[in-house]
Structure formats: structure tokens, C-alpha cells
Structure 1
Amino acid sequence: MRSGRVAALGGLVLLAAGCTGPGVPGLGAPSIPPTNPAAAEFDPTPAPAAMPEPDDEAADAANDGEGQSFRTNPSAAPSPSGEPAAIPGRETGAPGATPLPTPGVTGDGPVRIPPPKLSDYTYVFPVQGCKVSYARKLLVLPKTTIWAKRGCRFVAPVDGTVHEVNTVDRWSPATDRGQDREGKFVSIIGVDGVRYLGGHLDSVARGIKPGMKVKAGQVLGRVGNSGNAAGQATNLYFAVSWEAPADYWWVRRGMVKPWNYLDAWYDGNRTYSPRREMLALRKRLGATPPCTVLCASKQQPVRSRPTPQPTTKPKPKRTKKPEEIILTPQQQ
């Protein structure tokens, strides 16, 4: 059995001598790491300290395969640099260590893709500089109440021309006339041919008059609660329609549902236009359709008064003359 150990040691000596032979890269030349670390012939781990020699049978069993290194996990094999290789799913280095960034290498930032162009017109949200909220459903009329603080800027949603301006709040709960319910308001006819109205204003911007040109985002007034919004939270009455004579005030107060367009302008798709929907609705209903919702004003109660009767002087009553009683001496 000892002969086998001697043979193994002899093989090691022959192998070392062959590595230093002429023409063969060996100990005298720079070492080249193997292409497959798992196939390396020697384990670089230093040999353990000398132990008491076991008996011959135990030594033979321990020396079967001596000189080879077996690794059950190839990913844990030493790297050519001598550092332990990374194990999948586990961090390398000292616990809590933060890997250093690679110099000159940066990741790609997020790519911003502009929304598709849906029309030739550019719009802005009609309330600027304030936090807003609004309903996205039909509430009696096809309009939207945009809730905002008093004094927030009401701006032109698109380039256009001022159509109507009302600087006086004529609404009264006693009459509730339909043409007065929006209180102070400004309407414009946009370059897209659509009419936009902002009502319940606290005030109209100085210099805003019918016929003047305005640009998208130009201030037209300030948010308030005039008209039939009196006593309620401040808001902007926003309506979309088409141009019609002032007598058809029910067209001005809203015909096209506006919330889908408000959503788009608020979220950044500033080319989503209500023009197509407006034209289709006007063609179907006519330019001056009859009023069908909230049309009548409050009727004033009429106090009944008695019908005056012609006055005539009463005729004086004739009184009968008292009868004369004549007494004669015979009747005494």
C-alpha cells in the first residue's frame, strides 16, 4: 500500500519537472488561468498540517483520487483573480456593502412620448393657478361645474374672439330668469368655431369686451359664485356650445358634454378638440333648437284686488207727510 503512495509522489515530481522543461510554459513563465476553473488539477488551498499517520487501510481509502479537486457548485469556483465567485441570488462582499458605480456608465432615463396630435388647435384647462375638481357626469344640463377657490383665474381655453360679456349680476331668486342664472360671465368663439362660456364669475377681467381677440391662457375673469350659485361654494360654470343669438340663452348655457375634453387638457393632450362633436350635434338639433330643460322663470304671485265699482249718490228717500187730524166741536 505504501508503494501506491510512493508512485503518486513520483508522478507529482515528473509533472513538475515537465512543466519546467524547455519550450513548455511552466513555473518560470507567467501562469495562465484555466478556461474552466472546475477542471483545474490542483486545489490552491494550502495543505493542512501534518496529522498522525493512520493505518494502511484507512490511508488507502483516503488517497483514492488524491490530487484532484471536485466542486459540486461550479458557480462557487474561485475566479481567475483568486476571489470567490458570486453565488446566484446572494450578494457578494462584506455584509451591507454597497457596490460602487462603474465610472462613465449611466442608465437610460425615462423616455417621454408626446401625445398624438388630434387636431390643428391647442387648448388649455380653463382654470389656472388653483387646485380644481369637477364632476364627469350629466347633472341636469350638459355643462360642468369646476370647483375652485374664489379669485382663481378663468382663462380662454383656446385662441378666439370675445362674444358676450356680462359684468352685472342680474339674477334674483324671486324671478330665477334663465338668462340670468350664470351671473357674471364671459363667452368666446374659438378659432375652432366652438363657443365656450365661463359663468358664476366674481369679476370680469379689465378690458375684456365683445369683439376683442384673445389667446389661449389669457385671463378673462375670476372665479366666484354669482348668479344662481349665490350662497354656494365658489366655482366656474363651464359650458361648450355653438354661436347663437342672445335670445337663445339655453344654447349658450351648454350643449356639448365637456368633461372628456377637460380631462384631456388637464392631463396634457392639448389638441383634443370638441369641434367635431359640436358640429354633429348642431346638425342634428339645428342652430336654434327649442328649450327643453329649466326653461321657465318663476311666476310672480298676483294679488287679487277687488274690482272697483262706480260710485253713485243714493237718492234721498221721500218721507210721507204726517196726516192732519182735524177735530170738530162735535167730535170733542
Structure 2
Amino acid sequence: MPSPTIRRVRPAYLILLVLAPVLAGGCATTRPGVPAGSATPTAPAVWETADQPAAPSASGPASPAPSSAAPSSTAPRAGLRHVFPVRADDVAYHPTHGAYPATDIFADCGEPFVAVTDGTVLEVSRVDRYRKRGPQGPDNGGLSVALLGDDGVRYYGSHLSAVTAGVDAGVRVRAGQQLGKVGRTGNANNVCHVHFGISPPCTGKDGWWIRRGVLWPARYLDSWRRGDNREPAAEVTAWQRKHGCPKAP
């Protein structure tokens, strides 16, 4: 079966990123290849993936505040399977991002956002607290899930339309297991996408400015999209050795 249609952004789109009004922690305003106000293109490709474990069915009340769990003390593992974080027939993403390293992965609202690798859920937000007149940064993500992979890397997805029932802080998940759905909550500029960030967990010195992303994810996304297994753990470790866990910008 063919691989999913995933398009890298042409250089012209980099101009859009520069010109787009990006607030601190904000995301791109247009999907790659789609002029503002136009319909989203579709593609006939089908996402092929092995059957994944079903997400736990137990559900609880909406969290009054983001729930979080302490990172596991288990030593990071190498050679883990990694998968592309959005499972959809038509997906596109920017190789760059406004203001700081991250990636916006564009797909229709409601498409599955999945665990990149085996790991433990670190933090979940089921309530959209973002307000344009409020502080820019802390609540920009809207509904979100942060996962600590068994490789020692944190993977963060935000702007979700829903978080999967039973996906709570401390829950174990497998690569490819659904964590939520693509949406446009928080500071998403009303565009359906997932803000995807890669960072160290920074135990006890964490903050949204680290969680949102510290590395450029595109080359890892390129690899996982091809079915390869490029691992970001070494780059994350090197970044943390150099920068530590910096305070808010």
C-alpha cells in the first residue's frame, strides 16, 4: 500500500512564516500548499500501519488544570521504534517554525495524533485556557499531551480538539497509540494542526518554553515518514548539556 502523502514546504512558504504575525509560542497561520481561505487539498493515499494497542477505555472528568507526572527514573533506551505523530491520508508540515524550534503538522481536524514511541504520559491538558488578551505563552497549546519516551525524550503535541479517554499523566502508551485528535485549540490561528515539539523533560525545572520544543523536528519527521528510525535522543542530550534547563525567555 502507498505511503501517506506528506509534503515538505517549498522555500516560498518560508516567506509566509516570516510575514505571519507570530506571537510568543504562536503557530503558523496557513497550511503548506494552501492559500489562506482556500479549501484543503485531498489525496487518495492511504496510511498503512500495523495494528496498534487500543487506548484505555476508562475516562474521567475534564481536568481542572493540566495533570502531570514525575518523569520515570528508568534509564533511556536506544533502538526504540518511532512513528510519524499524525495518522492521516493528507498531511503536511513546515520544516521551520516562528520564534523557536518546533513544527506545525497540518491535517484535518479530528485526525489521530499518536504516540511517537513507547513511553509514559507526562502531562495532559483537557481544558483550553488560551485568551488572546491574556499572557502569551503558558496557555498557547490549548488541549495537549506531553509524552516522555523510553528513549528519554519528551514529545509534545498541542492544539488538539480532544485528548483520548484514559490518556492521563502516568499512563503507559505504545508507539502508534492514539493520544488525541488534530484540532485548533489554543493559539492555533484557527487552522487545524498539531504543534509538535521535541525537548528534554527537565525534571523540577520545567516550563512551557521548554515543553513547546527546543530542536527542529523536521529531519526526524522525514525519517519516520519514510519508515526509518532516526532517533533524537543524542541531539536532545547534547542540547541539555549546553543549555541546561533555562528559565523563561
Please indicate the TM-score interval, normalised by the length of the shorter structure: 0.5 to 0.7
Residue 216 of structure 1 corresponds to: 175
Match of 1:272 in 2: 230
Equivalent of residue 148 in structure 2, options 189, 196, 218: 189
Partner residue in 1 for 2:248: 291
Using structure 2 for the length normalisation, give the TM-score: 0.66
**Kept after mapping to 2: 8 A contact 1:130/1:149:** no
Q: Does 1:254 align with 2:206?
A: no
- CA deviations 1:5-34 (Å, max 9, x no partner) are xxxxxxxxxxxxxxxxxxxxxxxxxxxxxx
> Is the Cα contact below 8 Å between 2:96 and 2:102 reproduced in 1?
no
Task: Supply the AA of the counterpart residue of 1:238.
Answer: F
Quote how far apart the aligned CAs of 1:139 are. 2.6
Structure of higher CA gyration radius: 1
RMSD: 1.3
For residue 248 of structure 1, report the CA deviation from its aligned partner. Answer: 1.7
- Matched-pair contact (CA < 8 Å) for 1:185–1:199: yes
Tell me which residue corresponds to 1:239. Answer: 197
Return 5+ residue gaps in structure 2 as ranges: 1-77
Secondary structure of 1:261's aligned partner: helix
Q: C-alpha distance in 2, partners of 1:138/1:154?
A: 19
Q: What SS does the corresponding residue of 1:260 show, helix, strand or coil?
A: helix
Give 1:126 deviation, angstroms: 0.2
Among 131, 139, 147, the residue aligned to 1:180: 139
Report the equivalent of 1:27.
none
Structure with greater strand share of residues: 2
Following the alignment from structure 1 to structure 2, what is the Cα–Cα distance between the partners of residues 176 and 229?
15
Q: SS of the residue aligned with 1:180?
A: coil
Partner AA of 1:260 in structure 2: R
Identity of aligned residues (%): 40
Which whole-Å CA distance do the structure 2 matches of 1:246 and 1:151 have between them? 33
Post-superposition CA distance 1:255-282 (Å, at most 9, x none): 111100000000121x210000000000
- SS of aligned partner of 1:150: coil
TM-score normalised over the length of structure 1: 0.50
Contact 1:188 1:197 in 2 (8 A): yes
Task: Quote how far apart the aligned CAs of 1:138 are.
Answer: 4.3
- Tell whether the 8 Å contact from 2:83 to 2:176 is kept in structure 1 after alignment: yes
Please report how far the alpha carbon of residue 121 of structure 1 lies from its aligned counterpart in structure 2 after TM superposition: 1.4
Once superposed, which parts of structure 1, at least 4 consecutive aligned residues long, lie more than 2 Å away? 244-247
Amino acid paired to 1:153: P
2:129 maps to 1:170: yes
Q: Which runs of 5+ in 1 are unaligned?
A: 1-118, 293-332
State which of 174, 182, 185 in structure 2 corresponds to 1:226.
Answer: 185
| Count of aligned pairs | 171
Higher fraction of helix: 1
Q: Deviations over 1:123-167 (max 9, x none)?
A: 000000331101112431100000100000000000000000000
CA–CA separation in structure 2 for the residues paired with 1:176 and 1:203: 23
